[in-house]
Structure 1
Amino acid sequence: MSSHDYNRYRVDVDGGKLSVGVWEPVAAGPGHVPTVCVIHGITSNHLFFAGLVSALPGVRVIGPDLRGRADSRTLPGPFGMAAHAADVSAAIAAFAPEGPVTLVGHSMGGFVAMTLAGISRTTGTEAADRFRGPVLIDGGLPLPVGQHTGAGPVDDLNDEDLDTDDLIAAVLGPAAERLSMSFGTVEEYLAFFAAHPAFVDGLDTVATESFVYDLAAKDDHSFQPSTSIEAMQADSSDMYTGSAYQEALEAVMGDAESQAEVVFLYAERDLVASEPGLYPPELVTDYTHKWPQMSVIDVQGTNHYDILLTETGIDACADAVNGRLGTVADSAVE
């Protein structure tokens, strides 16, 4: 028996309607239902969190498709962390208006979660009390470029002179190249991922369903990934040079109480399963010294993707989420 009932809805946002998946717990007890909002990565969609949802029995999970992706792919710009934070806020208002809601972000979703948490703190006490966390899964804290390009020491990504194309190539690599590719069949797209170094152990049901959901049909009956290249370029640049995220980071991490709400989980390996991960150990050490109240969890044996797919990764993520919810899950993934 499934732990949740799943349905998909559309929520009014600027420029159109945002697609939002909602998992309602089957065995919710009386009274308030704890609620989590999961925010996906730059070329992903909400279904990538389905494994984590199964590890959160009794918890409502709200999962928007960010504009320019998946079932929200026709939503126009502007893109960027502030725009996504506003969309996520609209989704939360539609399904959990009273809160509190624990924010969980993977990859770029972590930057969106941090932006929303920061904006809420500067808006007022009532808005700040609506959110818990954020729980950041291999994302949400500033990333270095130098260690990916091999071009010397870690660069400061808060540099307005950085070239967007260089940022994308350095951090996203093959994930960016994939967006311009066409696939004759769904099976061909799945074969592409089956050969990807991050999925050498095979594609499980969660990954398969997320990848199939990601595909958009073209007029010539072929398929392409749904993420808009324009959205990815704008978001990639804004993560590192935009003011909304930086101001939010300062608001959240500059206050000891809110900093203590942040949980940061990082994978051992990166997007192509190479070491170090997106967050090298020395950078994480620097962050623990800079933000000592933040909880940091090293999820060994995982890469940037399977931290949300493997039992090890899901267990770690579920424990972190439950810690922010103040609940203990009955069980993890079986």
Structure 2
Amino acid sequence: MPVPGGELAVGVWDTEDPDAPTVVAVHGVTSSHLAWELLAEALPGVRIIAPDLRGRGHSNALQGPAGMRAHAADLAAVFEDLDLAPTVVVGHSMGGFVSVVFTYLHPELVTHLLLVDGGLPLAAPTGLSPDELVAAILGPTAARLSMRFADTDAYLDFWRGHPAFVGEWTPALERYLAYDLVPDGDTLRPATSYAMTVEDTVDLHTGTTILDAVRGIHRPTTLITVPRGLQNESPGLYPRDHLAALLAEHPEMQHQRWEEFNHYTVVLAEAGAVALAGVIAGHLAAPAH
């Protein structure tokens, strides 16, 4: 669909029921709409709408501004283009921050907000250059963007040893990873734009955009956090003391801590998707505010 700067790719898992409820799902910083395939399977009676954010997936050629407000504007364009009624919005990782800003700017389009290990300010280091900030927060996730691979099998082999997916390798994960690749001469590279990743990461951790948005949300919001991060390491994105301070500042926000998952498996493993589906089904059944 057209947006400023080009075209945005949007994934749709539809149903045969024209009156089926709709959920809008927003992926993370180096991800794509296929992060939500298992969620769609766990919600067979629900229409799932999930864009590839600009600079990612099949929207990787989309240039123009990055940052949370730009992604939120793209999300608003999706609502308008598909004539979507107000509904549940779920965001994972950076998608949580996009969803927070979107809900702040367009509260009339959101009935409930579900944040999955993202959306509230992280305990990021200060005084770093943009590249250093990206490296500190994303580590090997960002380093991967400069790598090149001979073929899809080589890329899958690269991921097979990833500590976050030990015991969680599935055909759905392979499809998700293979979709990430685009041609680069005689090789393949990850689709995600490093420049946009830098711009988005800096936007998350400088200025007041996120703080203003979180404080200005007036929609029922649930935050799910997990104890392990992008490399299956502890303490993950939200250490307990930092998380406790955030929750004390936002007592209106419902919080669930899911101990059995890491930052990836909470969405990309079947058990995580099924658990998320249960929360979303509850939000869809709840009265809109």
Name the TM tier (shorter chain): over 0.9
What CA deviation, in whole Å up to 9, does each residue of 1:16-44 have, x standing for no partner?
11000111123x3x7x4311111010100
Q: Give the alignment partner of residue 109 of structure 2, picking from 130, 134, 138.
A: 130
Cα distance in 2, alignment partners of residues 103 and 271 from structure 1: 23
Q: Give the alignment partner of residue 197 of structure 2, picking from 217, 232, 248.
A: 232
State the 1:289 CA deviation: 1.6
What CA deviation, in whole Å up to 9, does each residue of 1:154-212 have, x standing for no partner?
x6xxxxx5532232111100000000000001001001110111111142122111110
Change in Cα spacing, 1:213 to 1:311, as seen in structure 2 (3 Å) is closer
SS at match of 2:260: coil
Q: Give the alignment partner of residue 85 of structure 2, picking from 91, 99, 115.
A: 99
Cα distance in 2, alignment partners of residues 186 and 75 from structure 1: 23
Cα distance in 2, alignment partners of residues 218 and 265 from structure 1: 37
Q: Structure 1 residue 176 and structure 2 residue 162: aligned?
A: no
Q: Give the alignment partner of residue 13 of structure 2, picking from 20, 23, 28.
A: 23
State the 1:326 CA deviation: 1.5
The runs of 5 or more residues in structure 2 that have no matched partner are none
Is 2:124–2:205's contact at 8 Å kept on the other side of the alignment? no
Q: Which of these two proteins has the greater Rg computed from alpha carbons?
A: 1
State the 1:274 CA deviation: 0.8
Partner of 1:124: none
State the 1:139 CA deviation: 0.7
Is 1:36–1:62's contact at 8 Å kept on the other side of the alignment? yes
The letter for the 2-side match of 1:209 is R
The letter for the 2-side match of 1:225 is P
Q: Give the alignment partner of residue 308 of structure 1, picking from 260, 267, 270.
A: 267
State the 1:243 CA deviation: 3.9
Partner of 1:56: 43
SS at match of 1:179: helix
Is 1:265–1:317's contact at 8 Å kept on the other side of the alignment? no
Range 292-301 or range 310-319, more displaced: 310-319
Is 2:27–2:33's contact at 8 Å kept on the other side of the alignment? yes
Partner of 2:66: 79
SS at match of 1:223: strand
Cα distance in 1, alignment partners of residues 174 and 135 from structure 2: 25
Is 2:145–2:190's contact at 8 Å kept on the other side of the alignment? yes
Q: How does 1:1-334 map to 2 (within 5 A)?
A: 11-26=1-16, 28=17, 32-95=19-82, 97-120=83-106, 128-146=107-125, 162-220=128-186, 222-252=187-217, 255=218, 258=219, 261-326=220-285
Is 1:77–1:231's contact at 8 Å kept on the other side of the alignment? no
Change in Cα spacing, 1:207 to 1:167, as seen in structure 2 (3 Å) is same
State the 1:310 CA deviation: 2.7
SS at match of 1:62: strand
State the 1:133 CA deviation: 2.4
Identity of aligned residues (%): 40
State the 1:217 CA deviation: 0.8
The letter for the 2-side match of 1:93 is E
Cα distance in 2, alignment partners of residues 201 and 269 from structure 1: 15
Cα distance in 2, alignment partners of residues 318 and 283 from structure 1: 27
What CA deviation, in whole Å up to 9, does each residue of 1:216-239 have, x standing for no partner?
11122x100000111100000011
List structure 1 segments (4+ residues) > 6 angstroms apart after TM superposition. none
For normalisation by structure 1, the TM-score amounts to 0.82
Range 287-296 or range 65-74, more displaced: 287-296
Cα distance in 2, alignment partners of residues 243 and 276 from structure 1: 25
Partner of 1:331: none
RMSD: 1.6
The letter for the 1-side match of 2:284 is L
Cα distance in 1, alignment partners of residues 281 and 241 from structure 2: 28
State the 1:301 CA deviation: 1.4
SS at match of 1:265: strand
Cα distance in 2, alignment partners of residues 225 and 296 from structure 1: 33
Partner of 1:151: none
SS at match of 1:129: helix
Task: Count matched residues.
Answer: 286
